[in-house]
Amino acid sequence: MQKKDPAIVNFVFIAIALLWIKTYIVYKLNMNLQIENLIQELILFINPISFLMLVFGLGLLLEGIRQKWYVLTASLVISIILYANAVYYREFFDFITLPLLMQTNNLADLESSIWELISPYDIFYFADVMILLIIAYRKPVRIAFQKMQTPSIKAFYFSAIAFFLLNLGLSETQRPELLTRTFDREILVKNLGTYNFHIYDVFLQTKTKAQRAMANGNELTDIEEYTESKSSGSNKELFGEAKGKNIIIVSMESIQSFVIGKEINGKEITPFLNDFIEESYYFDQFYHQTGQGKTSDSEFLLDTSLYPLGRGAVFFTHSNNEYSTLTEKLNKEGYYTANFHANNKSFWNRDVMYSQFGYDRFFSMADYEIDDVNSVGWGMKDIDFFEQSVDHLNDIPKPFYGKFITLTNHFPFHLDSEDKFIDEYNSPSGTLNRYFPTVRYTDEALKVFIENLKREGIYEDSIIVLYGDHYGISENHNPSMEQFLGKEITPFESVQLQRVPMIIHIPGHEGKTISTVSGQIDLRPTLLNLAGIDSKKDIEFGSDLFAQDREEFTILRDSSFITKDQVYTKGSCYDKATGEILTKSECDPYRQRAKLELDYSDKIIYGDLLRFHNNH
């Protein structure tokens, strides 16, 4: 009896199957993608297949060694893309975008953070590539390395297109208008898949590049009407309160409000800030509104009262735009404007952007004496930074506007033992455990800074603003955060954790806590009002924090929003007082408005529309 030939499987199909399975496993084990029903699970399972078929299908046109090299190369490149997203997601709960990849001159400074996120077990992310190498080398008889016939290739590609259309159709049933939700990368990845998301991201980047060339001043009309209609005025009693005084801004790296007034091991985490709040205005419902640009986004919000972009960092992508900035307005009023940050001047493209904003001087790494003793983690320790910065303050004209950016409390939150004023926390998260000593160190540095300002006679003649720039502890550490806070972290609680400290100290004013909902976009109009500068004709989306009739409506960059009574995030509406889920209709009056406001701000940036503004 004649033996049957062994079953033959093409090498290309093995590669597709392995990478498909691996991608789904990474989705389930490494990414916190919320699945609500079986259809969404099916979408998550099938979304990689169309892309993989289209890419690896080219290998079906090759045979022998050429097919092997093509399949192995494609598998390795796609695996690297998947791995990079998984590593980035570990800390930021977000996905890499093309504008983010363009920030290559930041990579050297990011080295310590990147190594913190990499694990020896990550070799398993490339297990399929190793399997393919073994197959290619040993050439098992049941696996073929040959071309397919033209009719079969056509059927293969028709199947790939059919899978994509099925994927898209199912996704639209779950998320109507899916492709307009560019601000929500999790929804896009969950429905389109990591690989198709990156293709869509390239399309978006091409589209945004064309927006400036196609833009015209007529697009500003609706935006001007909108910003004028939402204006809540300003506090007339405080108008000009800072006139002639120095304005000092401190951007406190990664400090969130949950540390204020709290203790670990019986010791205060922020003893100085707790005391400083007692003699200052403290806004305890103040939210950061940053995106992928992190600290640079908070700087952008401060200077422009525009929202940062949903993809990448505007400091990189649109540094040559025209902006109406807080800095240039203070310049015109006779302020000397300076930035102080003991880091490489090109990091986050600051040297270019600061010049565009109108700063007179940028005191960067080259202006500080930095050595191994006064450095840790990302660079110069905050205490040494402030001590040397006060010396620079004595050399610049008065009145001045000075912005200081701290550095020590930066992920991965490393600190020398001699600088730890409190012990580390005890939880499964090493990141959270280290966070508290670095926050305590920055708090001590701020105390030293204020004492030095008093010693030099600067303190009593200065308005001092301290604010957190963005979150420090991501959702990746929620289990340990639940241990610290003593409660479950729901999506509602995650939004509450986006609050950052906001403190304004005005000489001669008593301390007061103001509990109106607000955000970083409100800083520019607040400071301009204090400086006695009218900004009513400016295009700005924030409003004076001290305005008595200000509307309590703050939008986060991911389109979540907070009102006096509600919190909306991840498709759910919550009661702000209790955290209980409400019907979506109770948030409906604000949902479209939040989207509109973000879209308007994006149009200004992508189209460089302020070049057409008469009052610029």
CA 235, CA 225: separation in Å to the nearest integer? Answer: 22
| Strand ranges (E), 398-479 | 400-405, 462-468
What are the CA-CA distances from residue 478 to residues 90, 335, 537 (Å)? 12, 44, 43
Residues tagged active-site: 295
d(C-alpha 41, C-alpha 25), whole Å: 12
The structure tokens listed for 47 are 């979304």
Measured over the CA atoms of residue 405, residue 409, residue 413 and residue 414, the dihedral's sign is: positive
Measure the CA–CA gap between 36 and 91, rounded to whole angstroms. 24
Residue 474 identity (one-letter amino acid): S
Residue 471, SS3 per DSSP? coil
Q: Distance between CA 509 and CA 436 in Å, rounded? A: 31
Place of tokens 């565009």: 356
> What's CA 390's distance to the chain center, in Å?
30
172: Cβ contacts below 8 Å, ≥ 6 apart: 178
Query: For the CA atoms of the chain, what is the radius of gyration?
Result: 27
- Spatial separation of the C-alpha atoms in residues 143 and 191, rounded to whole Å: 33
For helices 64-92 and 127-138, the axis angle rounded to 10 degrees is 170
Token code pair at residue 276: 């400083």
With beta carbons less than 8 A apart as the criterion, state whether 552 and 564 touch.
Answer: yes
Beta-carbon count within 10 A of 258 CB: 18
The span from the CA of 251 to the CA of 151, in Å, is 63
Backbone angles phi, psi at 590, to 5 degrees: -105, -20
CB atoms within 10 A of CB 356: 20
Closest CA to 458 of 382, 381, 400, 388: 400
